[in-house]
Amino acid sequence: MADVVTEQVAEQKAVLNGEAEDREETDPVEETGLRLQFSPQLSPVVNADDAAPEGDADAVPKVTKQLEKQVIEEKEEDAEEGADGDDGENASAKSQTDPPSVPICELYTSGTYPVGQECEYPLLQDGRSAVWRMTNEERRALDRANEEMWNDFRQAAEAHRQVRQHVRSFIKPGLTMIDICERLEDCSRKLIKENKLNAGLAFPTGCSLNHCAAHYTPNAGDTTVLQYDDVCKIDFGTHINGRIIDCAFTVTFNPKYDKLLEAVREATNTGIKNAGIDVRLCDIGEAIHEVMESYEVELDGKTYQVKPIRNLNGHSIGQYRIHAGKTVPIVKGGEATRMEEGEVYAIETFGSTGKGVVHDDMECSHYMKNFDVGHVPIRLPRAKHLLNVINEKFGTLAFCRRWLDRLGESKYLMALKNLCDLGIVDPYPPLCDSKGCYTAQFEHTILLRPTCKEVVSRGDDY
C-alpha cells in the first residue's frame, strides 16, 4: 500500500506545481492487487477553487492524508465484497445468527442458492461414459429450463444443512425427545420461512431410538429421555413449493457404535454412486447390500454382522409427495425398473445388528393424507373439521399429533381414526426390529438432472 500512496503523492505534487504530464500515454501503470485511479473522489485536491497556492507547505500532507484515506476505504470495500467467499452476485445481505434464525432467502438475496455435489452419471453397461451430458447443448438447455425447480430444492437443502448443524451442536444425553424435536422444528420453520403450503416442514422429525428404525416422533406426554448408549436416527424434511428434501443421519455418543454408522454411511454413498439415468433399481440394491454386509460391529464382547433392513427402501419423490411410486431396495433381488431423467430420489439405507426386518410397533404418531384419494363422504362433523385443517395446513404432506396440538386442535383422536378407517388418511406407525438390537440410518436427496446427478442435500458433515 505504501508504494501506491508514494506514487500518487508524487503525481499530485506535480499537479500542484503545474509540472504534471500525461502519464497514461508514456508510462502505463503496472497492475496491482490494490489499484488507485484518479477519480472525482480526489477532485477536491486538484480543483481550481481548492488548489493550494504554490509553495504552500501544507499541500503535500493534505494530499497524502486523503490518498491514504481512499486506500483504506477501498481496501475495506474489497474485503466486504469477498467476506463470504462469494462472487458478488449472491453476496449475503445478512449473516446467520447463533442459534440460526435468519431465513435462508434473506441470506441469499439474489435468490440463487448453493448447488449440491454434482457427479457424473455412472458408466453405462456397454462401457460408454455419460460425460457427454455435461457438454451436450440440448441437455444443458433442458437443465436451464428447470432451473427454478432445482433452485427450490437447493433452498430447502441449505435450510436442512444449517438446521442439522445446529442440532449437532445441542443434542446430548439428558434431553427429552420432545425438546429435541421441538427445537429442531422451530429452527427449521425460521430458516425455511414457513409460509402455509408454499414453504415449511415436509414431514415430522423422526428421532427413532435403538431397535426402532423409523417413524417415531414423540406424542404429547412422552417423557422419553435420550441416553448415552442410545442410537438416535434424526430424519427430517424441508420443502419449498412442494420440492422436498428428505435427509437423515444417525447420532451416537458411545464410540462403540462407530462401525455400525460407518457401514450405513458407506452403503448410502454406494447407493448414490450407483444411481443414475437408466440404472436399474435392483442393481443399486445389490451394490448397497454387498457394502453393508462387509461390515461387522463388536458390542459388549459380541460380534454382529451389519444387516440391511430388507423391508425398508429408498424412494422417488414428487411435488408434495414424499413417496412418488418407485422404491430403491437396499438388498439384492429388487425390481428391474429403471431410473429416469428428471426424477428425484431419496437414497436411504438402514443397517441393523438384529434380524434385518422391521414391523409396526408402539404408538402411532405419523399420519399423511392419501395422495390419490377422491371424494369420500364423511358423516362425523369433527372428522370433517379435522380434514379441513389437514387440507389447509398440510395438504398431502405428512404430519404428526404434536403438530395438531400446536394448531390448537383437541379431542381429535376419534376424528383422526375415522379418517384413517375411511382411507382418507394413512397412519405410519413406528417401524422396529427385534428388541435389544441397534439400527442406524443415513439418507440423501439426489436430482437426476439432464446434465449430471446432483446430491443436493450433501454437506460437510456427511
- Report, as residue numbers or ranges, the catalytic residues: 235, 246, 315, 323, 348, 443
385 is in an annotated binding site: no
C-alpha cell at 257: 457404535
- The one-character DSSP state at 291 is H
Distances, alpha carbon 459 to alpha carbons 92, 217, 233, 284, in Å? 19, 24, 17, 22
Distances, alpha carbon 380 to alpha carbons 203, 416, 420, in Å? 27, 11, 13
182 is in an annotated binding site: no
Q: Which residues of 226-243 are buried (b: 16+ CB within 10 A; e: fewer)?
A: beeebbbbbbbbbbbbbb
Give yes or no for a cis peptide into 100 (omega within 30° of 0).
no
Which ranges of 207-316 would DSSP assign to H, the alpha helix? 258-274, 281-292
Say which amino acid occupies 146. N
Collapsing DSSP states into helix, strand and coil, what is residue 398? coil
Distances, alpha carbon 8 to alpha carbons 20, 66, 68, 247, 294, in Å? 12, 11, 10, 57, 69
Q: What is the largest CA-CA distance in the chain?
A: 100
Rg (CA), the chain: 30
Residue among 51, 42, 434 at smallest CA distance from 212: 434
- The one-character DSSP state at 20 is -
- The one-character DSSP state at 117 is E
> Cα-flanking dihedrals φ and ψ of residue 450, to 5°?
-60, -30
Gap between the Cα atoms of 194 and 365, Å rounded: 22
DSSP per position, 300-317: TTEEEE-EE-TT--EEEE
Q: Where are the beta strands (DSSP E) in 129-225?
A: 199-209, 212-214
315 is in an annotated binding site: yes
* Neighbour count for residue 428 (Cβ, 10 Å): 17
The length of the chain is 462
- Residues annotated in a binding site for a divalent metal cation: 235, 246, 315, 348, 443
- Residues annotated in a binding site: 215, 235, 246, 315, 323, 348, 443
